[in-house]
Amino acid sequence: MLKTLSITRPKRTITGNLESFISVSFVAVGARRCGRPSPDGAARSFYSTAPVNPVPTANSTSNPLRGCYPAVGCFSLTASNIIPVNNFSFHTTTPSRFRIRSNSLNKMAASKDYRLLCLENPLLDIQAFGDEALLGKYGLKANDAILAEEKHQGLFEDLLQNYDAKLIAGGAAQNTARGAQYLLPSNSVVYLGGVGDDKYAAILHDAVKQAGLRVEYRVDPKINTGRCGVVITGHNRSMCTELGAANHYDLEHLKKPEVWSLVENAEVYYVGGYHFTVCPPAIMELAKQAASGNKPFILSLSAPFICQFFKDPLDASAPYWDYVIGNEGEAAAYAESHGLNITDVKEIAKALANLPKENTQRKRVAIITQGTEPTIVAVQGEDEVKEFPVHSIDPAKINDTNGAGDAFAGGFAAGVVEGKSLEESIHMGQWLAKLSIQELGPSYPFPKQAYPGHN
């Protein structure tokens, strides 16, 4: 039996599940709301992926948009004060009234897609076992991480053509996004970043498709896709990175209606700190969107140099952190660059947790990983700093610790998305990191292993 529900929106009066349902309905019908909630009297815009035929007439409740969506059943949308723009879009002035007819309102929360949205710098990791001759050919050191220069440009194609290279959808936050999707149901994670229009981007698309990760890349036709050549010699890894198009992400892409609709739809946001070197305004837009909707915002410090040399944009985002994740080196760099005059990891965690906060409905949680040592967790306003011992593993099974921190963040983010407790989310992160270090590079075993839960 169909239910009919009328909603008046003079302000942002609809929250929680009902707001999520309306967002899903717009996508199902092909219309997406663009921009932030409008104040009284302002225009509210909608964009359609297919012609609205016939276009609704001005100030009319006729010609409703109708559609069916498996998650919510069939419905129709009508709006008063409709002003046509063209065959693909129209907007309304507030207050607006939308009429939704559905026979399954109760299904909306359980079936929502792309609850986690991640942002950073996508790279195609090209990993292969090499030797001293290959290192010498390109002037590389056995255990090093550098940015590519002109003399290194041939390395990426050399690895592809002449070595048994493993191709991974890399970049720290993309590793994290793949990890979260590994644990979550299908169509749970979407990732944003910049790539080129070249064969490396095509390979990257294939790699993320295999991982079940949705990506919305900004494509730059003039700049190569970012690549990281990894030459493995014994237990050493020489990493040579060319950021390429990943270094040119911009706010314009984030604000595209088809991308911003994903931002509005998401329930949790994850940003890798390396993106502070690229587009801090995009980070701030996500942070503010999270705070305005009381949605968790997770930030990774990513590297010591982010804390040291990108201090201003990092600090601008700090009030919006609901969770901040770093390792002991990044924590030490933060303390030093901010003049905290402390070296104890627990005290640094407490300092991070108790920074001023924008969204006071959530206590900030600071998480510091320490490799094989316990994970340190501090909660805003709480004196006790907790320790979570990492999962033990036979050293003989460890293949590659590169990306262990990304995997931890992926498992933790998956726990946050699913509403798990802090302890359970930490456990999920440690479990996924344990799986990852038994693989080559920042990757996860297939066929998938099911998370066993935490006793």
Q: How many whole angstroms from its chain centre is CA 393?
A: 29
Question: What is the three-class DSSP state of 32?
Answer: strand
**Closest of 173, 161, 164 to residue 199, by C-alpha:** 161
Q: What is the pLDDT of residues 146-164, one digit of tens each?
A: 889 999 999 999 999 999 9
Q: Can you give the pTM of this predicted structure?
A: 0.74
Nearest-angstrom CA–CA distance, 83 and 89: 9
List of residues 6+ apart from 56 with CB closer than 8 A: 62, 63, 65, 79, 82, 84, 90
Rounded Cα distance between 412 and 243, Å, is 27
User: How far, CA to CA in Å, does 98 sit from each of 3, 38, 108, 141, 394?
Assistant: 14, 15, 17, 63, 59
CA 168, distance to chain mean position in Å, is 17
Q: 162-185: string of b/e by CB count within 10 Å (b at 16+)?
A: ebebbbbbbbbbbbbbbbbbbbbe
Smallest CA-to-CA distance from 78 within 94, 50, 56 is with: 56
Task: Count the residues in the chain.
Answer: 455
Q: Where are the alpha helices (DSSP H) in 57-184?
A: 132-137, 153-162, 172-183
And the tokens for 220? 């730059």
Q: Residue 405: what pLDDT?
A: 94
Divide the 455 residues of the chain into consecutive groups of 10 and give the mean pLDDT of each group: 36 28 29 33 32 39 38 36 35 35 33 91 94 95 88 95 93 97 97 97 94 97 95 88 96 98 98 96 98 98 94 98 97 97 97 98 97 96 96 86 92 98 97 92 90 83
pLDDT for 285 equals 98
Catalytic residue numbers, as ranges: 406
Among the residues of 355-421, which ranges form H helices? 404-417
As a whole number of angstroms, the distance between CA 324 and CA 334 comes to 12
What pLDDT does 455 receive?
65
